[in-house]
């Protein structure tokens, strides 16, 4: 149902009518505060009101399931998206600003969005259209088509850069090229912000409308203000069963991630007031409330990067790169987010399921991604209890069995499995865990990183293409400023560092609740094989926890060999283009099945840079 508000009712009672409209098109900028295009649209409406000519501000959101499905968006993200549009509509209504909600024709595809926007412009007598730029390839094409379509009506279009504090193209190398290494990008970013302080200025919200809409416009607005529920959308119902939350579970997820700017601002204030000082110490511990939990709000633009940097700077006495270490490190993580956006804008092929470094396209994977790949489908328990019950093993003959076991949290490596089950249950994953599970999939199982990227997209409430792709390619060694392919996480060592007492594993891997010793919990089957009197082979068989899919030491050698062969094949056999070192003995190049073919990622941790 359309919202009712005192402001909208009062607007209808005005004696003066607007003869034209300025339209703001919302996409991934679902907020009224600190919204560049929205503020400029509001100012344009005021400037066009002169004498007998009166102009109102109206807003538009296009529900486009075909676009969401094209990106493989998780149902939990679709639901979060819809809920935030509802909150936004109510917030706008308080200022007498209507939000028109139009459904794109799913059968016509994403290109039909231009027809939708053109119709709204015609019905509301729009003079100017404003929107904030999105940098993905299809979104760029869509916006070009929209601009061309509304130009036929005489509508002036103003795109604005708003996703980043520093827009892509403003921070470049001395040669005028896009940075592909994080540290010099970060340093240049800090210099640019210091020299151009206006980029951090938080924008005012839009002014309220002062005139009623014409009867024709009012009728159109009233008939296009209803927002469909997420489960009724094709992008939700067409998703495999594995990621469709039950109604009970959906209610649980909605309590974890409340919608709206107020909820986002409350989280930001709580984080900067009480937890940011210790962020650099606690951010890697999955059982500690050390992160901000703001990534879902950043992904949909319910919160802006400027607001986050400004709040962190305020908590650090106005400083960004000096002072309290927690605030400095958190701002650095926000700069990682900007770095990946600049990379995506400068190298759009990363949007097309291609490695940033082409020499790694030839890696022979044990299980490969393809455009028609079908992700595993299995029911997620409807319980909201923690830990959830384990999923049964995939039946024999299941495609991509290694990948499927990884998605289920049945790899035999407790911390990896706990993280994957955590993702299924909550729609989110701690950044350190994202790094661990991605490294395990690519380097231990030698499964194509694009399968992991797709799985994260299909399950994360905070999925962001630039950051997710950047994070996965960082872990795989195929991306810009990536971890070298021969640097491989040992999952047991990671557990020792970041879940030393096994608390997180026991919380999420129900079969191992009884193992109280953190050391034994890092490799229970290994402990059983060595004759542990606590973790015996019989107890392990009875509890049902799976044996490890691979031996890490052997898998590591196989991965290094496979990546090295791909590099040699790409450069004509000249050797390792990343390190210049011989890291694998020739006798081991095809060890452990290498010949067969063995990311807020919101934010990733920077590696040391060469000086």
What residues form the annotated binding site? 279, 291-295, 330, 333-340, 462-464
CA distance 595 to 592: 8
Question: In terms of DSSP H, where are the helices of 34-181?
Answer: 36-48, 65-70, 75-93, 113-123, 137-151
Exposure on the CB side of residue 29, measured as CA atoms within 13 A: 28
Distance CA 117, CA 23 (A): 10
d(CA 35, CA 581): 49
431 tagged catalytic: yes
**Is 365 a known active-site residue?**
yes
Query: Which residue ranges are tagged as binding site for FAD?
Result: 279, 291-295, 330, 333-340, 462-464
Beta strand pairing status for 126-132 and 55-63? unpaired
Beta carbons within 8 Å of 176's beta carbon, 6+ residues apart: none
Determine which helix (DSSP H) or strand (DSSP E) holds 182, and give its type and residue range. helix 182-195
Classify residue 103 as exposed, middle or buried by CB count within 10 Å of its CB (0-12, 13-18, 19+). Answer: middle
Question: Which residue among the candidates 431, 459, 468, 469 is catalytic per the annotation?
Answer: 431
367 forms beta bridges with 447
336 tagged catalytic = yes
Alpha carbon distance 308, 326 (integer Å): 14
> Per-residue DSSP letters for 75-95?
HHHHHHHHHHHHHHHHHHHTT
- Phi-psi category of 182—alpha, beta or left, where left has phi over 0 and alpha has psi -120 to 50? alpha
Burial class (CB in 10 A: 0-12, 13-18, 19+), 471: buried
Alpha-carbon distances, residue 349 vs 135, 354, 444 (angstroms): 12, 6, 27
Pair of tokens at residue 99: 């939000």
From 110, 189, 365, 428, the catalytic residue = 365
DSSP code for 212: B
Q: Which residues pair with 60 in a beta bridge?
A: 25, 100
Token duo for residue 324 = 């309290």
Angle between helices 113-123 and 215-222 (to 10 degrees): 140
Phi, psi of 127 (to 5 degrees): -95, -35
| CA 226 – CA 247 distance, rounded (Å) | 21
Element (H, E) at 159: strand 156-160
8 Å CB contact between 418 and 426: no
Which position among 128, 139, 333, 367 bears the catalytic label? 333
Structure tokens at 385: 């209890």
Query: From the centroid of its chain, how far is CA 232?
Result: 23
| Beta-bridge partner residues of 58 | 23
Active site residue 195: no
Asked if 412 contacts 548 with a C-beta cutoff of 8 angstroms, the reply is yes
Question: For 500-515, what is the HEC assignment?
Answer: CCCHHHHHHCHHHCCC
- Taking CA atoms, 110 is separated from 64, 114, 152, 189, 222, in Å, by 7, 8, 20, 34, 25
Residues belonging to the active site: 333, 336, 365, 431, 449, 472
């Amino acid at each position: 149902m359309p919202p009712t508000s005192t402001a909208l009712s009062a607007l209808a009672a005005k004696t003066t009518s607007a003869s034209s409209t300025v339209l703001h098109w919302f996409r991934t900028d679902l907020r009224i505060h600190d919204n560049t295009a929205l503020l400029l649209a509001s100012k344009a409406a005021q400037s066009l009101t002169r004498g007998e000519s009166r102009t109102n501000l109206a807003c538009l959101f296009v529900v486009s399931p075909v676009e969401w499905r094209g990106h493989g968006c998780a149902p939990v993200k679709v639901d979060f998206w819809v809920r935030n549009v509802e909150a936004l509509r109510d917030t706008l209504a308080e200022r007498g600003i209507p939000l028109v909600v139009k459904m794109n024709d799913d059968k016509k595809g994403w290109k039909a969005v231009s027809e939708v926007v053109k119709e709204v412009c015609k019905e509301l007598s729009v003079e100017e259209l404003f929107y904030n730029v999105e940098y993905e390839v299809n979104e760029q094409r869509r916006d070009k088509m929209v601009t061309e379509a509304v130009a036929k009506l005489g509508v002036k279009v103003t795109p604005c850069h708003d996703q980043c504090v520093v827009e892509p193209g403003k921070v470049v190398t001395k040669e005028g090229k896009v940075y592909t290494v994080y540290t010099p990008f970060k340093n240049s970013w800090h210099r640019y912000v210091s020299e151009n302080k206006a980029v951090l200025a938080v924008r005012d919200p839009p002014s309220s409308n002062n005139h009623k809409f014409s009867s024709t416009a009012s009728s159109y607005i009233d008939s296009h203000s209803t927002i469909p529920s997420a489960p009724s959308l094709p992008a939700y119902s067409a998703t495999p069963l594995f990621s469709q939350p039950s109604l009970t579970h959906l209610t649980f997820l909605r309590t974890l991630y409340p919608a709206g700017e107020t909820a986002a601002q409350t989280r930001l204030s709580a984080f900067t007031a009480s937890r940011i000082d210790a962020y650099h110490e606690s951010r890697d511990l999955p059982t500690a409330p050390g992160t901000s939990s703001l990534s879902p709000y950043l992904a949909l633009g319910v919160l802006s990067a400027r607001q986050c940097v400004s709040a962190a700077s305020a908590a650090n006495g106005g400083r960004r790169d000096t002072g309290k270490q927690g605030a400095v490190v958190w701002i650095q993580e926000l700069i990682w987010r900007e770095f990946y956006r600049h990379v995506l804008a400068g190298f759009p092929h990363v949007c097309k399921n291609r490695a940033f470094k082409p020499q790694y396209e030839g890696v022979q994977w044990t299980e490969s991604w393809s455009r028609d790949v079908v992700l595993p489908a299995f029911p997620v328990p409807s319980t909201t209890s923690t830990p959830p019950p384990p999923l049964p093993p995939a039946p024999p003959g299941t495609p991509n069995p290694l990948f499927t076991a990884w998605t289920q949290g049945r790899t035999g490596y407790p911390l990896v499995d706990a993280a994957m089950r955590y993702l299924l249950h909550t729609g989110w994953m701690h950044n350190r865990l994202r790094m661990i599970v991605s490294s395990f999939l690519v380097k231990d199982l030698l499964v194509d990183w694009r399968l992991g990227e797709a799985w994260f997209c299909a399950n994360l409430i905070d999925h962001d293409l630039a950051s997710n792709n950047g994070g996965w390619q960082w872990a795989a060694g195929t991306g810009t400023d990536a971890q070298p392919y021969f640097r491989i996480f040992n999952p047991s060592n990671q557990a020792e560092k970041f879940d030393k007492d096994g608390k997180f594993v026991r919380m999420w891997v129900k079969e191992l609740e009884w193992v109280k010793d953190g050391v034994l919990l890092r490799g229970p089957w290994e402990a059983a094989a060595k004759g542990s009197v606590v973790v015996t082979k019989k107890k392990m068989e009875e509890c049902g926890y799976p044996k490890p899919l691979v031996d890490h030491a052997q898998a590591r050698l196989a991965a290094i060999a496979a990546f090295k062969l791909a590099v040699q094949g790409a450069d004509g056999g000249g050797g390792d283009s990343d390190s210049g070192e011989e890291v694998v003995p020739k006798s081991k190049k095809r060890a452990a099945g290498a010949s067969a073919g063995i990311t807020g990622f919101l934010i990733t941790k920077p590696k040391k840079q060469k000086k």
